[in-house]
């Protein structure tokens, strides 16, 4: 867990660990889930235990993945050390941390990408993400930072005009997405009301009820965690 959640989320589903566990359970995952707070407590899974783990999932965060804040640097170094030892899933900030750990440039984009947003699946994305219903993946987004270049030895899974690296993959090793497959309409509306106002908030709310492929993508994340690709 790379952040705390707003009170509305905590009351509804708990912290980010339980939110992700709820999504993975709904998508069919049956393994044990353990939570580590890398943000405040700076807890990490012991590396020697990872060979018997299905995967490590790095959550989103309001922090900057490109910053030199000590806990972010520590997380980046840890991520670099575990790649190849177990499967790693990166979501939003976690996607950016994996990109940074692999040497890809990460930084501030020109503007926010928020609410339900469409992106194009690449041929690799279309082949691997079997539960996504079309060539257009629609995910809830909430980011102003992004990975600018595809990390070495990875395949691009999705892209759009706002963010050219929406997802990348390394076989049996890495699966990362800029979007939030764990978010619901309630989540993005609640967060946006604390961060935005005026025309931007109106735009977010106008699109927040559009088709959200998060639940479908979560099924493919579980397939990856279970070693299917």
Q: Measured between alpha carbons, how far apart are the two ends of the chain, in Å?
A: 24
Q: What is the mean pLDDT of residues 207-222?
A: 99
Query: Residue 83 has what DSSP assignment?
Result: B
Predicted local confidence at residue 10, as pLDDT: 82
Which of 13, 21, 113, 182 is an active site residue?
182
Contact call for residues 98 and 151 (beta carbons, < 8 A) = yes
DSSP state of 6: -
Q: Given a cut of 90, is residue 125 above it in pLDDT?
A: yes
- Annotated active-site residue in 92, 117, 163, 176: 92
Catalytic (active site) residue 86: no
Question: Residues for the chain: how many in total?
Answer: 229
Which whole number is the average pLDDT over 152-176?
A: 98
Active site residue 149: no
Instruction: Check residue 122 and report its DSSP letter.
Output: P
Distance of CA 73 to CAs 61, 80, 90, 99, 227, Å?
14, 11, 16, 13, 29
Identify the CA nearest to 61 among candidates 49, 50, 47, 75.
Answer: 75
The tally of CA atoms less than 13 A away on the side-chain side of residue 57 is 26
Which of the 8 DSSP states describes residue 86? B
| 10-63 tens-digit pLDDT | 888 899 999 999 999 999 999 999 999 999 999 999 999 998 999 999 999 999
Closest CA to 53 of 27, 89, 91: 89
Contacts for 80 with CB less than 8 Å, ≥ 6 apart: 101, 102
Residues 70-90: tens digit of each pLDDT: 999 999 999 999 999 999 999
pLDDT classification of 164: cutoffs 50, 70, 90: very high
Go through the domains of the chain in sequence order and give each one's CATH number. Answer: 7-109+145-181+214-225 (3.40.50.880)
92 is catalytic: yes
Q: In the prediction, which pLDDT does 41 show?
A: 96
Q: What is the pLDDT of residue 8?
A: 75
């Amino acid at each position: 867990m790379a952040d705390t959640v707003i009170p509305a989320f905590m009351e509804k589903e708990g912290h980010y660990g339980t939110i992700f566990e709820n999504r993975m359970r709904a998508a069919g995952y049956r393994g044990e889930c353990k939570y580590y707070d890398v943000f405040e407590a700076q807890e990490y899974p012991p590396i020697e235990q990872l060979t018997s783990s299905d995967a490590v999932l790095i959550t989103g965060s309001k922090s900057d993945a490109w910053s030199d804040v000590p806990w972010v640097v520590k997380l980046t170094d840890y991520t670099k050390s575990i790649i190849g030892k177990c499967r790693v899933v990166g979501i939003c900030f976690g996607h950016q941390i994996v990109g940074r750990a692999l040497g890809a440039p990460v930084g501030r984009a020109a503007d926010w990408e928020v609410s339900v947003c469409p992106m194009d699946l690449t041929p690799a994305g279309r082949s691997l993400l079997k539960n996504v219903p079309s060539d257009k993946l629609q995910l809830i987004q909430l980011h102003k930072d992004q990975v600018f270049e595809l990390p070495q030895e990875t395949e691009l899974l999705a892209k759009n005009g706002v963010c050219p690296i929406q997802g990348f993959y390394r076989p049996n090793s890495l699966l990362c997405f800029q979007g939030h497959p764990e978010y619901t309409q309630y989540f993005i509306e609640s967060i946006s009301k604390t961060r935005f106002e005026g025309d931007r908030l109106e735009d977010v709310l106008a699109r927040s009820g559009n088709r959200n492929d998060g639940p479908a993508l979560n099924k493919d994340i579980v397939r990856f965690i279970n070693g299917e690709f």
